[in-house]
Amino acid sequence: MKIIETVTYTPQPINRGYTDQILRVDLTSTAISTSNLSPDFKTKYTGGRGYALKLIWDETSENTHYDSPDNILVMASGPLGNEPRFPGSGKFIVGTISPLTDTFIDSNVGGHFGPLLKSAGFDALAVSGISQEDVVLIVDVDQGQIQIVEAPTFGDQIDNGALSYGETLLKRFNNGKLDEDVAAVSNGIGASNTRYGILNSLFYDSRRKRMRSKQAGRGGTGTVMRHKGLRAVIVRSGLHKVGRNNPADEKGVKRAGSSLKKVIAQVDPKQFRLRSWGTPVLVEYMDKYHILPVNNYQYGQHPDAKAIFADVFFDRYLSKKLPDGCYKGCNLACAKGAENITLRYGPRAGTKVGVDGPEYETAGAVTCMGIFDPGFIMEYNWYCDEYGLDTISMGVTASFLMECFQRGYLSKDEVGYELSWGDIECADRLLHETALGEGFGKICSRGVLRAKEWVAEHYSKKTGKPYTEVIGELGKFAMETKGLEFSMYITKESLAQQGGYGFALKGPQHDEAWLIFIDQVYNELPTFKMKAEALKWFPLIRTWFNAVGLCKLPWIDVRHPEAANTDNPAKNLPTLEYYVQYLNATTGSNKTLQDVLDDSERLHLLQKLINLRHGKGTRESDQIPLRAMGPVFFNEYEARVDYYDRWLMDQMADKTIPDDPESRHALICKLRQEAYDKLCDEVYEAKGYTQNAVPLLEMVENFDLLDQQARRLLAMFGIQRRELSN
């Protein structure tokens, strides 16, 4: 590989979870440097998402877009990553300005990359600038050097793929072999051609004896990386051994980890069975409760759904003997894999591949297109990973376009073929066209927000109907907020999850507030007040997981037996105690759960400020499509007419209910919109915001975030102290 730049370095040891160093790479100038972090930086911003937020806040501006040279791509683990004695500790965060939302996005991802980067001496990697040619960054502890090299080429088929390219590159780098001490992140051709390119985290699985991958899927982080001309980052270091995090209290770490592992071993087999079945287990629950997205979230249930229940994947594809997982020491081990899947479609038809997945979200993205074929789900999963595409954004955008076709906004004239629900060949064709930047795929590649604008403009020109009218009609079923596509839960019957999506700072991704289960299935948030409180509390604790480098699933998907005896079982506080113990044992702190929530609130506020700076922070940006609130069209109402009529009677109490179904349907939509507006009022108040969703100045000041930039920004929204206006 042709070397462009080399620097030598001595890795900083890890002390109490931190190395206190960031690796900085400017691809425009090819400068490589390291910077030391002050104790204050660590105290205030924790790690992971917090580090990414602070770097983006300080070093970018409102004029920074995803493709600006000053946009920064940050990859950062946290102080609690890198510890096999505690379950779920392999996560790292990828944060940047998104091509979909035009504001901060981050995505958390497993694999070995985050822990290896930490072992290599860095709490974070921050990449800025744009390279004129495709390059690869190599961090090599064995050689004590960091290099930028020209990205090698291996022939079109390999070069186009995120998985194939990353694996071939790693073998080339590591003398033809793969092992646990090397890992990489890479992107594929889908990142060149769409706004929702992902970043694949590649790691060697010694049990499966092959390279596996996990994905930083949401918001186009791979698109940013690819635009910077960075094809891959390789890191070689000694794989994280027990104790490598150099914690303050070894025994405390062991105790906290053993306690959590015990709960997982005891409870998971009786609850979700994630260790056996992985997240596809959710398909059955979601279908049962009308939450599984079908035909662009029109329906939440389908008679064919049983064809893709977890037992089908388990019997047909998944290995029964290999508890997978995405990092060492996680006994929940939900990240599944399958071998020898023969592709039926696309440019690689006939090839046998290993698939990492499927996750529930990927299955949901396929049912969203009306398809219930487990083989196609495996194939869709593999191709999206190989091209480097977000399975969610791809599926939701395709589904939106299918509904545009169904409702006459698109025809064969524009698309070139019929976009039909449940048609595998059509979905497959659109997938490949999108990834390769061909045909109608060029429209699908834009994501729902921009595809909606294209369809509206086109339809308006064709029919003479005013653009504003058309975009309003499309907006009712275009499943995006802030520019990000919804993840795979139908929220029509869960007001809490509507808020969970609407208020999520990055856009409608459930990792900020996954409340649908506790609200709709367990009915643990029966009152308006409880929903509003949950919408403040859950995003804070979830933010913390993304800052420290931990997976949330062992907490949220495995409920501690003692949780039932607490005031709020949904918070699973007995398990959170283990997390706080683990934090204190690692870093030597003496924090309480409230301290943890306060630390998170600072990060949450900082993300809010970035959103305000980029025009995505006010009440208007929190609005969700009517499809997320209720039955937009009559066919949706009709499909559950008894349920909706009962719901209406409950709401109207002794008031008169209209006789004709059309009026009842219209009234339901009106009431749902009003409930969401009221929820906004309550949640903003609970969070300490104005009714325009802008934080109060005192609050920003209390969290020590009131720098010059924040003052100016808040003043633009009329938030200032009297003396500041003088």
Q: Which region among 308-316, 539-547, 548-556, 674-682 touches ligand SF4 (by CB under 6 A)?
A: 548-556
Q: Which region among 221-229, 547-555, 661-669, 688-696 touches ligand SF4 (by CB under 6 A)?
A: 547-555
Interaction of residue 109 with ligand SF4, rule CB under 6 A = no
Tokens representing residue 546 in the block: 């993304």
- The binding track of 552-581 with respect to ligand SF4, each residue x by CB under 6 A or -, is -xx---------------------------
Q: Which is nearer to ligand SF4, 103 or 543 (CB)?
A: 543
Tokens representing residue 172 in the block: 């080339």
In 97-208, where does DSSP find H-type helix?
Answer: 113-119, 156-160, 162-173, 189-193
Residues 15 and 37: their CA atoms lie apart, in Å, by 13
Q: Which is nearer to ligand SF4, 79 or 441 (CB)?
A: 79
| Helices (H) then strands (E): counts for the chain | 30, 17
Interaction of residue 551 with ligand SF4, rule CB under 6 A = yes
- The binding track of 110-149 with respect to ligand SF4, each residue x by CB under 6 A or -, is x---------------------------------------
Interaction of residue 202 with ligand SF4, rule CB under 6 A = no
Q: Which is nearer to ligand SF4, 102 or 324 (CB)?
A: 324
Q: How many CA atoms lie within 13 A of 526 on its CB side?
A: 3
Number of chain residues interacting with ligand SF4 (CB under 6 A)? 14
Q: Which region among 96-104, 254-262, 332-340, 387-395 touches ligand SF4 (by CB under 6 A)?
A: 332-340
Please name the residue that has the structure tokens 């029919």: 463
Residues 589 and 82: their CA atoms lie apart, in Å, by 18
Among 272, 277, 327, 637, binds ligand SF4 (CB under 6 A): 327
Residues 385 and 162: their CA atoms lie apart, in Å, by 7
> CA of 619: how far to CAs of 422, 547, 616, 699, in Å?
36, 26, 9, 18
Residues 334 and 357: their CA atoms lie apart, in Å, by 9
Least separation in angstroms between residue 324's CB and ligand SF4 is 7
In 15-119, where does DSSP find H-type helix?
Answer: 39-45, 48-59, 113-119
Least separation in angstroms between residue 647's CB and ligand SF4 is 35
Q: Which is nearer to ligand SF4, 334 or 488 (CB)?
A: 334
Q: Which is nearer to ligand SF4, 109 or 401 (CB)?
A: 109
Q: Which is nearer to ligand SF4, 81 or 483 (CB)?
A: 81
Three-class DSSP category at 715: helix
Q: Which is nearer to ligand SF4, 147 or 546 (CB)?
A: 546
Cβ-in-10-Å burial (0-12, 13-18, 19+) of 458 comes to: middle
Q: Write the DSSP string, 667-719.
A: HHHHHHHHHHHHHHHHHHHHHTB-TTSPBPHHHHHHTT---HHHHHHHHHTT-
Q: Which residues contact 1 (CB under 8 A, 6 or more apart)?
A: 136, 149, 150, 152, 172, 173
Among 80, 141, 189, 335, binds ligand SF4 (CB under 6 A): 335
Interaction of residue 371 with ligand SF4, rule CB under 6 A = no
Least separation in angstroms between residue 488's CB and ligand SF4 is 16
Q: Which region among 173-181, 239-247, 319-327, 617-625 touches ligand SF4 (by CB under 6 A)?
A: 319-327
Tokens representing residue 283 in the block: 């398909």
Interaction of residue 48 with ligand SF4, rule CB under 6 A = no
Interaction of residue 291 with ligand SF4, rule CB under 6 A = no
Residues 652 and 644: their CA atoms lie apart, in Å, by 12
Interaction of residue 684 with ligand SF4, rule CB under 6 A = no
Site residues for ligand SF4, window 74-93 (CB under 6 A)? 88, 90
Tokens representing residue 362 in the block: 């990927």
Three-class DSSP category at 478: coil
Which residues make up the interface to ligand SF4 (CB under 6 A)? 88, 90, 110, 325-327, 330, 332-335, 551, 553-554
